[in-house]
Every structure is written in structure tokens, then in C-alpha cells.
Amino acid sequence: MFSKILIANRGEIALRVLRACRELGIKTVAVHSTADEDAMHVRLADEAVCIGPPAARDSYLNVAAILSAATITGAEAIHPGYGFLSENADFAETVEAHGLAFIGPTAEHIRMMGDKITAKTTMEMLGVPLVPGSDGELKSLDEARAVAEQVGYPVLIKATAGGGGRGMKVARDASEIEEAWSVARTEARTAFGNDAVYLEKYLDKPRHIELQILGDNYGNVVHFGERDCSLQRRHQKLLEEAGSPAITAEQRDTIGKTVTDALSKMGYRNAGTLEFLYQDGQFCFIEMNTRLQVEHPVTEMVCDVDLVREQIRIAAGEKLGYTQSDITFSGHAIECRINAEDPDTFAPCPGTVAVYHAPGGLGVRIDSALYTGYKVPPYYDSMIAKVIVHAPTRAEAIARMHRALDEFVVEGIKTVIPLHRRILADPEFQKGDYTIHWLEQFTARPH
């Protein structure tokens, strides 16, 4: 096992990793920008190194400064958290070239899944169901036309280097295909420097359901069930739950088996998430994320697992030590992302937290680096806390989240807590009756 880990991140996820290290008896090194001198992760770590000015590209994305910090402190491994360098294959490669462990998958697998065509082709070969569409890259407008006719309109043209909602164009009928093809290609070239595109049938009312997996270095892969992440606005998730209100335990077992068989054949190691669109009872793979995700706590609550601890153990060469049948699902978990934003306009709202009081009690977990007097800097993501609740049933989890949010005091800055309260009180939400489009419509409604 490692004796010292450098955490290449900030905010609540830096604390999350730090806490796992503490419990494993591992010393921690925080890195921080000049804007984060008073940040909680800096205060709580055993050592801290300033790696540059506020802008992320000069600090949290500064590979040379991060590697220097690891070298001078004698860290043996780097945990990248999410965002920043977490899905940068070159970074993972450089970390390992310096004799340090990257707490994540191999650079090869990060690169493979970063290219969406390669990701889909690989998954298809391994038996994972996809959205109907082109067989890999579209080579011409004629091919786009032919595939669109075959799968039926509407269709989406997507950039292979895109993902997470970037680089997509819809063609509702044959009259729109030429425009979609040329705009998608041009945007892909300018935004990503890679004009390769592919085509999929456009699913009009899917849910976004993702599967959490872990693999070790010995071919063992297990899954921890699904998260329903359909409640998002402009590709920013707001509320996630485990399990999905839309699927049964049998469906979970079936897709879980398909996915673990596939990733075991790939030799995938560490944490990963497969994203599916789910519509009309069918799972269609769209992308894979090769990192720990923001919403991992809902999985931790229903499976009673510490995913960060597992990531660290795996990176240190330990075996999983359990099989799929040892993983059980208990109750229901919901996460509300609390952003420092106006709850109506979503304008970011950095500033000083005049009063901070976190909720507590049975089944309530708060992942946050906030404290009274903390100044939320304007340079980074606006997420300042995650409230996670766990209860025997979904209805009880909703009631518990309501109660927790009522206790939560964050004064001095605006947050999206009032929006969460409205969502939790909505009859459609309470029925679990929503798709990826529900939240955009909900936030556009007068209230």
C-alpha cells in the first residue's frame, strides 16, 4: 500500500479523497492555486504545495508543477479526482513515466474511451448494446444519407472527440442532413481538431442511466448497479439517484452482467462508468467515463462501499477481494448538487459564505469543503456541496432530502437549494416519471 498520495484536485472531491486516505493510514499532499490558500483541502492535508495562479490552466492543469510537487514531497501516487486532469491520457502516462502510480485506468483505456467511435466499436465487439447508427466513422455525406434512411429520422451526427453534449447536430428529416453533416464536421474540426463524426438514431425521450464498475489488475470486474442522472440542465446534472426509478432488479442484473463481461475481456482496471440512454425498455451505450464521478456517493450509499478506497487499493495492486454476488443493493439514495448560482437564472454567484450550517441526522451525508467565512472563488466550478440521503424507500429518501435541505443554511451567496425544494415537491418527480428533457421544461415553468 502507498504511504503518501498527492491529490490533484480541489473542493469537495479533494476532501473526499483525503478522507479515504486517512482511513487507510496514508499521508496526503494537497496542491492548490494562489486563490485556494484558505481552502479546506489545504487545511486538512498533511502537506500542501502551491502550484500556480488562480486560472486552472496555470495550476490544477499544470502538469509540470503537479509532478514537481509529487517529487519534492515523496508522494507515490496521484489521485486526479474528477474534471481537471482526470481523463487526460497524456497526464496518466507522464505520471507513470515518473515512477508514480496514477489512481485510475491505464492511459491506453483513457485514450480509447476518449474517442467515442473507438469506445462504441469496442463495446459493440464485446456484446454491449448500442443506439442504432453508423458502423464507426461516417466517410461521406452520401454515407450519412444512407445510414439515416436505414435507421430512420430524426438522427444525430456526433463528433468522435466530443461527448458530454459537445459536438452534436440533429437532422429531423432528409432536408436537414447536408447541413447537419457539414456543421458537425466543421465544429468538430475547430473545437477538437478532429473532424471524424458518426451517426445515431435520435432517441426523443430517453433517460440517462449509468453503470458504476470497478476492475482490478487481475481481470476481475464487478458492477455496483446504476444511477439515474436524467435530471440535468444544459448537460449539467443537478440531482441523481440510485437505483433508477425506471428499471427493475432483473434489468440491473442483466445489463450489469453484459457490462462486467465486456470490461473483464478488455482488462479494464480501476473505476469506470458506462453511460446509457434508456428508452422503451432498451439500454443503448453512448459513452464511457474513465474517472470517479461527482455522483458516486449515491452508489456508495446503496452498496455500502467506499469507491475511493477501492480505487486506491486497486492502484496499489490489491485484488478486489469480493465477487458480484457479494455486492447487494439496499434502499434508495438521492444526491442534490448545491451550486453557488441564482436558482432562477443559473448565473454563478461567488462570494463570502456569511453563515454555513450543514444538516445531519440519520441517512444524511454532506460532501462539501465549505465553512463559515469561506470565500467561494469565481475561477472554478460553482458546485459547493453535495447533499446525499439514504433511506429504505424512494419516498422516504425524498422526505429525508426535503428535511435535510430545510436544515441547510448557506447565507451570503445564492444557491440552487430553492430549486431542489421545488423539484422534490413535484408530483411527476415523486412518481419517478421523467426523461432527460424534464428539468429544462420544469425550470422554464413559471413559479
Part of the chain binding ligand MV4 (CB under 6 A), chosen from 15-23, 39-47, 90-98, 194-202 = 194-202
Part of the chain binding ligand MV4 (CB under 6 A), chosen from 52-60, 163-171, 189-197, 209-217 = 163-171
Does residue number 77 form part of the binding site for ligand MV4 (CB under 6 A)?
no
* Closest separation in Å from C-beta 135 to ligand MV4: 15
| Of positions 7, 40, 286, 333, contacts ligand MV4 by CB under 6 A | 286
Part of the chain binding ligand MV4 (CB under 6 A), chosen from 158-166, 212-220, 355-363, 387-395 = 158-166
| Of positions 32, 208, 227, 337, contacts ligand MV4 by CB under 6 A | 208
Residue 270 contacts residue 96 (beta carbons within 8 Å): no
Question: 64: helix, coil or strand?
Answer: helix
Residue type, 402: H
Strand residue runs (E) in 305-443? 332-339, 351-352, 355-357, 364-368, 375-376, 383-391, 409-411
Residue 77 contacts residue 103 (beta carbons within 8 Å): yes
* Closest separation in Å from C-beta 131 to ligand MV4: 4
Does residue number 381 form part of the binding site for ligand MV4 (CB under 6 A)?
no
Does residue number 164 form part of the binding site for ligand MV4 (CB under 6 A)?
yes
* Closest separation in Å from C-beta 168 to ligand MV4: 6
Q: What is the DSSP letter of 1?
A: -
Cell digits for 115? 474517442
Does residue number 131 form part of the binding site for ligand MV4 (CB under 6 A)?
yes
Which residue in 291, 313, 337, 400 is the catalytic one? 291
| Of positions 156, 294, 370, 423, contacts ligand MV4 by CB under 6 A | 156
* Closest separation in Å from C-beta 86 to ligand MV4: 17
* Contacts (Cβ under 8 Å, ≥6 apart) of 9: 17, 41, 60, 79, 80, 81, 82, 83, 84, 86
| Of positions 203, 336, 364, 376, contacts ligand MV4 by CB under 6 A | 203
Cβ burial 203-224 (10 Å sphere, 16+ → b, else e):
beebbbbbbbbbbbbeebbbbb
Number of shown-chain residues binding ligand MV4 (CB under 6 A): 17
User: Sheet holding 221-233: strands in order across?
Assistant: 282-289, 270-279, 207-215, 221-233, 236-242, 332-339, 383-391, 364-368
* Closest separation in Å from C-beta 210 to ligand MV4: 9
CA distance 348 to 331: 34
Residue 204 phi, psi (nearest 5): -90, -20
* Closest separation in Å from C-beta 337 to ligand MV4: 15
CA distance 82 to 7: 11
* Closest separation in Å from C-beta 250 to ligand MV4: 24
**Residues from 232 through 271 that contact ligand MV4 (CB under 6 A):** 232, 235
- CB closer to ligand MV4 out of 145 and 309: 145
Does residue number 436 form part of the binding site for ligand MV4 (CB under 6 A)?
yes
CA distance 32 to 40: 11
Residue 111 appears among annotated catalytic residues: no
Does residue number 200 form part of the binding site for ligand MV4 (CB under 6 A)?
yes
| Of positions 198, 202, 278, 283, contacts ligand MV4 by CB under 6 A | 202
CA distance 49 to 281: 50
Q: For binding to ligand MV4 (CB under 6 A), which residues are involved?
A: 131, 156, 163-165, 200-203, 206, 208, 232, 235, 277, 286-287, 436
> Active-site positions?
291
